[in-house]
Structure 1
Amino acid sequence: MKQTLYTLLFSTFSFLGFADPDFIYVDNIHDWEEVLSLAEENRKLLYVYYSADDCEPCEFMENSTFDYDEVEDFFNQRFISVYIRKGTSFARMFADGFQIQSVPSSLWMTGKEFVWRLEAGSMDNSEIIEASMRASQLTREYPTLLPAALNGADSLSVRDWLDLMYIAGVNNQSYESELVNSFKNSLHLDSLHSEEYWTFVQTYVSDLTSPLYQYIKIDWKQTLGEDFPWESYYDQLYDFNLTIAINRADSGLVENMEYHLLPTLEVDSTQPANTLKMRKLDLWQDYYLGMGDFQTYLETTSMMIEDVEPNSDQMASIIKELTSVSRSTYALDQGLKWINGAIKREPTAKLYIIKADVLIVQGRNIDALRVLGDAEELSPSDDEVELIEFLKYVANTRY
């Protein structure tokens, strides 16, 4: 009966010709639900390959890895293989739901969407078979490994711990916090001081509210080692979480970023004292611009800028972004209000130059010339003198 169902359902799907394993192409929720049913009925794990156009690592997987006879035989015997291509609304939903951050990515899961393993990046024929065998191994060992971990067993390897924490995190299991606490109590603080484990953190720890991330961020240098590339990891988390927040129109995720991510990037003595406040302003601006909500972007900036008190360089960046999005009279008037507030706090030649530039864009050339005169009285640098002379030329020409 199951073999008959397997054959009948397969006849309804689209198959791909690029690779030897029998991949089912899925681009909508209906086909996905059919595939899940197929896996349940046949008691097989799903192997999901997430790919994209114009992706060299994807081309390697599709033209090399999957082309080996051993890979074809291995996957056709053990898994129902699914192909999802980035770009469709279903693919976006799938990537968000299963925390996929890069292409290509490989997932092994049950028909009930219980994920056993995720591998990001390309793999050769031996690597993908090894990863698949590990996924299958976890399905057998999980009932033994999990109780041992929760009881604080010191016999588990770091790899076992990380696999268990990934399974708990992606499947929203309530015992994730217990696992992290047991991990902290069972292993040395320097257990993750290895590039081998850094890859796990960079690839799988993306939920800013997860117990593992919360544990890491308290003192990442102690947990991961001082050589861990936190700045690039920070950028990765920023882009990933902001994209999800925009796709879901979820300001709560932005708040999570504000409280759990932004403070983790160190502020050194060479940076302004308001650097963290400026990051928060940048974050909310990025969110509302990503949402296409220009009005709220202006309102939020006007509200936050009083607390940020940006310096001349920061104000230049704010105005540059504003004018790159809109040069409407309303937008430029808002920009002038922000500049005037900064001038009132601490007048500088640079701020007056920025103000004159905006006035010229508005066609207010006489006002711009007057403001440039104010700039000249504030001991401008040589570069600023050149800008003043250039803007004077522009204003006089247009006048």
Structure 2
Amino acid sequence: MKRILSLLLFLPFLAMAQDKGVHFEHGLSWAEVKAKAKAENKYIFMDCFTTWCGPCKFMSNTIFPQEQAGAFFNDKFVSVKVQLDSTNKDNEEVNKWRADANKIAKDYNVVAYPTFLVFAPDGHIVHRIVGGAQTAEAFITRVKPALNPEEQYYTQLDAFNKGRRDTAFLRKLATTSTQLYDKANSEKVTAAYLHSQKDLLTPANIRLLNSAVTSTKSKWFPLFLNENEKIDKVLGEGEADRKVTTILANEYVKPALATDNVTPATWTKIESKLTRQYPKYAKKIVAFNKIHYYLRKGDWVNFRPAVNSYIQQYGKDVAPSDLNTYAWTVFEKCDDKACLEAALDWSKRSFEGNNSPALIDTYANLLYKLGRKDEAISWEEKAMNALPESDRADFNATINKMKNGQPTW
């Protein structure tokens, strides 16, 4: 009885704690939410989320329950959550919203999560935010422009659609629309801005192009093929080619691998198609994507020769971080000695001229898994000693495991 009584006494305090955060409406339809906002003269804050989205869960569990968030939102907004994916665990409320949720996702091109939409008290959309924040204060800072017509995204977009074309306005709106994953509007605004430019390859324009160009169909995609030196001076060495290879992989490789029946003939066909239009990039794209395909599948028999072949052909272009990723994945998931020996070589290449403690740590762990205990401890100590005292705990724990013959994987 005492335990039950204690729980009953605790529940009101729990409810009070929850009430201090952002209040989200439940049991209301979209029409009723809009009616409530109009009657109370409040904006509508809509959290568009999916059940699988980690940042969405972080916002719901960590940011929205905070008193600081509640103090800002509750007197200004009618807030509502809208689930945009479907699961077999969806409750009655989610199912009742399904038609409206699908229409909202389509009308406002919601493709990244979380996306937060803000509507004026009369129900018309005024603002859009993509992505959360690590603190309530930081998120509130991102939401405040939704209350200012001079900063509201859709209000500025409306001005564009009515003919506003001054250069500074177009540049800012083009950048914003790209950052907000509003693809259709981003393409229109970016095109309007770039058509007004005599020189497309200024540093500011190159950075905008790097965000805006996502397809071979883009009018400005050829710039990344033909002006790579100028682009690299702004974005960094190799960035123009990296942009091209990413786009080509998305359009030529990814669709071809969307099957369980990938054979050597599949890779030959991909390379053939790429060679006809983009011969400079074909072999490298296929070689690189073989690595990541076999890595994703855990196909270590094919993974090892794929990495070795790529290093042999394009060694100078392989980033240390990629080599480390390949080596560490093998360390964690493969026990085959030949594969571990190959990973050891990749790992050693990753810190040549670098001596990063994190990269050396991978090398030491591979040595240990291969049974070369003394060498492993020596290298792990070298990595640890390169760090300040405050950052050595994990490395020291690994050394102790090695000394005691315990697995580090």
Quick check: TM above 0.5? no
TM-score (norm: length of structure 2): 0.41
TM-score (norm: length of structure 1): 0.41
